[in-house]
Structure 1
Amino acid sequence: MSVSTRRIALASGSAIAVLLIGIFAVTQQRGADVFADCRQSVIAGGAGAIGGAFTLVDENGATVTDRDVLTKPSLVYFGYTFCPDVCPADMGRNVAAIDVLDEMGYDVTPVFISVDPARDKPEVLKEWTDYLHPRLVGLTGSEEQIRAAANAYKTYYRVPENPEDEYYLVDHMTQTYLMLPGHGFVEFYSRETSPETMAENVACFVDHAG
């Protein structure tokens, strides 16, 4: 075997070894993930990078933390009650999924966190959430509390500075987060996900959580 041929063979062998190590690592990581069969998305930094502790005010005016609210599997959404179309549509989808899950025998809590504290006082939230679903939990708080919660969930929103129009719009992201007790954040859903698809996927996660 010539020197050049030997070099090619060694290089090829090294490349194959690296490839096999990579495949083994991915397989091991997937095998260690109890939710591997349920995941539909890839989260940069891993699921543990999203979610965390928060302190907010519920629709009854009580100060609550994530430990008070997320006691069951929960679907968490950041929006605002004055939203003209996106938030009502997204939350309508979320509570429809909750109803499907109820029929399947799964108890899941829908949660709505306002990103518009100036207008979304507890009494406003209560009227809005009670209209959408009897189990929908509405959360608001100070600007600092809401910003901290949004940062923990890696979500974006922007309230106009000194708005002159009382019907101002708030720019915000629209993903819904699935949170599981003992696991934290495990999945998110886009606006395109149907209630039925969401319910089936949530059930998969709950089943695999044990």
Structure 2
Amino acid sequence: MTLRTVRLLLWGAVAVTAGALVGAAWMLPGTASAPTAATASITPVGGEFALVDDDGRPRTWSGFRGRPVAVFFGFTHCPDICPTTLGELSVLLAELGERGDDLQVVLVSGDPERDTPEVLNAYLQSFDPRIVGMTGTETEVDRAFSAFKAYRRKVPTESGDYTVDHSAGVYLYDRDGGFAGTLDMHEDTEVRRAKVMRLLEGSGGGSASLNGLGDAWSTERDSIDPARRTG
């Protein structure tokens, strides 16, 4: 058994536990609920960007045409949501086997100050090798977050450091770059797998599908006003 296989098995266990805990917290009285699709923007979600990947190569959004894409916004210093989500995506890719080679999973960092290509590359060693990390200058990252209607905000911590609040949903796109909904970590594993299979089969729904869009505004904190997103 390889080290990567062990890591994927561990992430599977972590994902199940985290999902149960988050689901329970979501149902607690007084817990703020995420905005619904009815309150989310219906303008195009996604657009051109020019960033660099974790190997330092220039990448553009249009360069991903021809393959379904799953985009996640996060950062390497994230304590919980990011590693849990990337772990679950790694388990999903492993379960898909060679079929998963057709799905491009992209992590766009919301912390370009710390997340250089080298840092992203080292961080992603713990996850499926098919996941690509993206970063850039503050301006370039702002442009990418704005194009995808994603949210990020630097939040100072008591230690004098900072963390980053950010959109936590996984955005799905078809082979033509059309928005096809989201994956949400509150959903059952089978629901997420079914969404990805529809995407791979070419029936993801395109930009007309707003399946789970409200969940894409969820952040690591209990509640963030969607109007406070970048863009």
TM-score, length-scaled by structure 2: 0.64
Q: How does 1:13-32 map to 2 (within 5 A)?
A: none
Partner of 1:184: 178
**Structure 1 residues not aligned, in runs of 5+:** 1-40
Q: How does 1:147-162 map to 2 (within 5 A)?
A: 147-160=142-155
Partner of 2:118: 123
Q: Does 1:165 align with 2:160?
A: yes
- Amino acid across the alignment from 1:139: M
Question: For residues 57 and 191 of structure 2, what CA distance do their matches in structure 1 show?
Answer: 34
- Amino acid across the alignment from 2:92: A
Q: Does 1:199 align with 2:201?
A: no
- 1:142-162 CA-partner distances (Å, limit 9, x unpaired): 111111111111111101479
- Amino acid across the alignment from 2:120: L
**Structure 2 residues not aligned, in runs of 5+:** 1-35, 205-231
Question: For residues 47 and 148 of structure 2, what CA distance do their matches in structure 1 show?
Answer: 7
Partner of 1:97: 92
Q: How many residues align?
A: 168
Question: For residues 91 and 203 of structure 1, what CA distance do their matches in structure 2 show?
Answer: 18
Partner of 1:66: 61
Name which of structure 1's ranges 190-199 and 74-83 shifts more when overlaid on structure 2: 190-199
Q: Does 1:141 align with 2:102?
A: no
Question: What's the RMSD between the two structures over aligned residues?
Answer: 2.6
Shift in Å at residue 208 of structure 1?
4.0
Question: For residues 143 and 186 of structure 1, what CA distance do their matches in structure 2 show?
Answer: 27
- Amino acid across the alignment from 1:99: A
Report if aligned partners of 1:106, 1:203 keep a CA contact under 8 Å in 2.
no
Name which of structure 1's ranges 188-197 and 142-151 shifts more when overlaid on structure 2: 188-197
Report if aligned partners of 1:101, 1:107 keep a CA contact under 8 Å in 2.
no
Taking structure 1 as reference, are residues 65 and 103 closer, same or farther at Cα in structure 2, changes over 3 Å only? closer
Partner of 2:107: 112
- 1:95-142 CA-partner distances (Å, limit 9, x unpaired): 222222336677212110000001000000001112211111000001
Structure with greater Cα Rg: 1
Q: Percent identity?
A: 34
